Amino acid sequence: MCQETVAPSKGPASPYTQQTEAPVGEKRVEMRVGDRVYDVTQFVKRHPGGSVIAYYAQQDATDAFDAFHQRSDKAKKVLNSLPSRPVADHDAKSFSAGDRAFIEDFRSFRQELIDEGYFDPSYAHVAYRLVELVAMFVLHFWLLSIGRWGLAAIVGGIATGRAGWVQHEGGHNSLTGIPWIDKAIQRVAIAFGVLTYGWKWNDTHNRHHATPQKVDHDFDIDTLPFVAFYKEALQIGRNRKSASKQWLKYQHWSFLPISAGLTGFAWAFYLHPKSYLLKKSRRDLVTFVLVVLRLVAHYLCCPAGWSLLPRVMSFVLTGFIGGMYLFGNFSVSHTHLPVTFRDENRNWVEYGINYTMNVDPNPVVSWWMGYLNCQIEHHLFPSMPQFRQTKLTHRTRAFCEKHGLNYQSMNYFQAVKATLMNLKHVADHISAADADKED
C-alpha cells in the first residue's frame, strides 16, 4: 500500500488529503483495521510496503490489510504492536467503509471462499507454470543460436510476458502460498525474464491494487510521456511536462506497436535501475546477477558470425514484443474505465468492482492473459491463485447483482477495442483543446 508525499492541491482540501499530505509527525495519521483504530503516524516512514499505507489514512483499511497480508503472520504482529484504541461511536462516520451490511456481506463471501479452498495453492499448477517458462526460454535461445531471429523474438517476447505473469503472482504470494518461496520465484522471474526489479514492481503494483484508477496513486495510469489514459493527464498527471501533444494525438495508433514496447524498455533500463541504485537498503545481488546473465545469454546465443548490431537488434525486437504482450494485456482490464481524483475515496470492494473489469474467461484467453483476465476477482482477492478465479465469476456476479453493482465483463476483442477507443477519445480531447487555444 503506498505513495510519496505530494504537494497539496490548490483550493479547499478534504480532511483525508490534509492528513495524508502532512509531514509525518505533525498530524496524527490513523486507520481502522477490524474493531480498532491504529495510530500509524510514525509507522508510515518504516512500513515495509512503502508509503502506500497512507492511501487509507482516516479510513477503514480492514479489507485492504486482509488482502495484502493474508499470509503474513509478521504483518499481524507488527499491527498489534502499534498504538491503537477501540473504535468509538464518534469513529463510525470517520472510519466507515460504506454500508456496513454490504461490507460485512463481502467479508462473509471472502471467508466462504477461504473455507472452500479457493485460496489454497496448487503445486501442480505452479510446477506447470515454471516448466512452461523454462521451456519457452530454452526454445528462444535455441532459435536464436540457429539464426532464426524472427521466431526467436516472438518466442522470447512471449516468454518475457509470461515471466511477468509468474513474477506478478509471486509478488502476491499466490503461487505456493509461502511468502519467502513466492518472493524468491518472483525475484528470479522478474530479473531474468523481464530485466526488472521485484521490490520496485511490488512498490508500484501495491499502489495500483490499493487504489485502482486513482490519479496520482495508481502508477498503471501514470504513463506519460508515452500514453495518456484519461483526459486530465496533461493537466495533473505525472511527467506531464515531458509529454508531447503531437505524439499523444496519435496514441491510439502508436500504443500497441510502439508505446507498449517503449514502456517496457523504460522500466528495464531507467525506472527500475534508478530505484535499484537509489534504494541502497533494497538492493540485492541476485537481481543484478540475473539481469546480467540474461543479457550475456542473449549475446552468447547469437550465431558466432553476427556482429554487434544484429545481436542488439534481435534483443530490442524481443523486448518490444514482450512489452506489447505485457502492457497490451495489462491495459485492457481497467485503463479505459473512469478515474477518481486525489480527494475522492472508495472502499476496497468499490475499487475492485467499479474500477476494474473482466475479460470473459475461456481456456485460450485465460492462458494468453496469464490467468489475469478475471481482474475483478483478482482485485477483490489478490492472494488467491489466479487460475482459480475463473471458477467463481458467477458467484462474484451474483454478489454484485445482490448489491446493485455493475459486474463488467466483455470478450477479449471488445476489451482491446474499448482500450484503443479510450485512447482515441483522450487524443481527440487533446486535439480539441489545442484547436480551442488556436482560436
Q: Which pLDDT tens digit goes with each residue over 216-225?
A: 999 999 999 9
Question: What mean pLDDT comes out for the span 38-58?
Answer: 89
pLDDT confidence of residue 358: 98
pLDDT(406) > 80 = yes
- Rounded Cα distance between 378 and 358, Å, is 10
Using 50, 70 and 90 to split pLDDT, how confident is the model at 97? low
Using 50, 70 and 90 to split pLDDT, how confident is the model at 436? low
The three cell numbers of residue 138 are 530454452
Tell me what the pLDDT averaged over the chain comes to: 90
Using 50, 70 and 90 to split pLDDT, how confident is the model at 89? confident
pLDDT confidence of residue 104: 93
R_g (Cα) of the chain, nearest Å: 22
What sections of 28-119 are H helices per DSSP?
A: 62-68, 73-81, 91-94, 100-115
Hey, which residues does 60 pair with through a beta bridge?
Answer: 32
Q: If DSSP codes are grouped into helix, strand and coil, which group holds residue 315?
A: helix
* CATH class of the structural domain 15-97: alpha beta
Question: What mean pLDDT comes out for the span 117-131?
Answer: 98
| % of the chain exceeding 90 in pLDDT | 77
Question: What mean pLDDT comes out for the span 173-196?
Answer: 97
Number of Cβ atoms within 10 Å of the Cβ of 304? 6
- Rounded Cα distance between 241 and 402, Å, is 45
**pLDDT, tens digit (0-9, with 9 covering 90-100), for 12-38:** 433 332 333 334 445 888 999 999 999
Hey, which residues does 214 pair with through a beta bridge?
Answer: 340
260: Cα within 13 Å, side-chain hemisphere:
26
Q: If DSSP codes are grouped into helix, strand and coil, which group holds residue 221?
A: coil
| % of the chain exceeding 70 in pLDDT | 92
Q: What is the DSSP letter of 177?
A: S
Task: Annotate 204-215 with b (16+ C-beta within 10 A) or e (fewer).
Answer: bbbbbbbbbbbb
- Rounded Cα distance between 170 and 157, Å, is 20
Number of Cβ atoms within 10 Å of the Cβ of 257? 11
Greatest CA separation for the chain: 77
pLDDT confidence of residue 26: 58
pLDDT(193) > 50 = yes
Tell me, rounded to whole angstroms, the distance of Cα 320 from its chain centroid.
20
pLDDT confidence of residue 425: 97
Looking at 17-31, 69-83, 304-318, 325-339, which range is the least confident one? 17-31
pLDDT confidence of residue 218: 94
Please state, in angstroms and as integers, the Cα–Cα distance from residue 410 to each residue in 67, 253, 333, 439, following that order.
26, 22, 10, 40
Please state, in angstroms and as integers, the Cα–Cα distance from residue 166 to each residue in 135, 137, 161, 363, following that order.
14, 14, 9, 17
pLDDT(411) > 90 = yes
Q: Which amino acid is at 192?
A: F
CA-nearest of 16, 72, 7, 81 to 43 is: 81
- The domain locations on the chain are 15-97, 109-439
**pLDDT, tens digit (0-9, with 9 covering 90-100), for 266-319:** 999 998 999 888 887 778 899 999 999 999 999 999 999 999 999 999 999 999
Burial of 246 (C-beta count, 10 Å sphere; 0-12/13-18/19+): exposed
pLDDT confidence of residue 322: 96
Residue length of the chain: 439
Q: Are 341 and 370 in contact (CB under 8 A)?
A: no
pLDDT(2) > 60 = no
- Rounded Cα distance between 299 and 314, Å, is 10
Question: What mean pLDDT comes out for the span 175-204?
Answer: 96
- Rounded Cα distance between 304 and 215, Å, is 49
What sections of 371-411 are H helices per DSSP?
A: 375-380, 386-389, 393-402
pLDDT confidence of residue 186: 98
Number of Cβ atoms within 10 Å of the Cβ of 439? 5
pLDDT(351) > 50 = yes
First to last CA, the chain: 45
pLDDT confidence of residue 10: 43
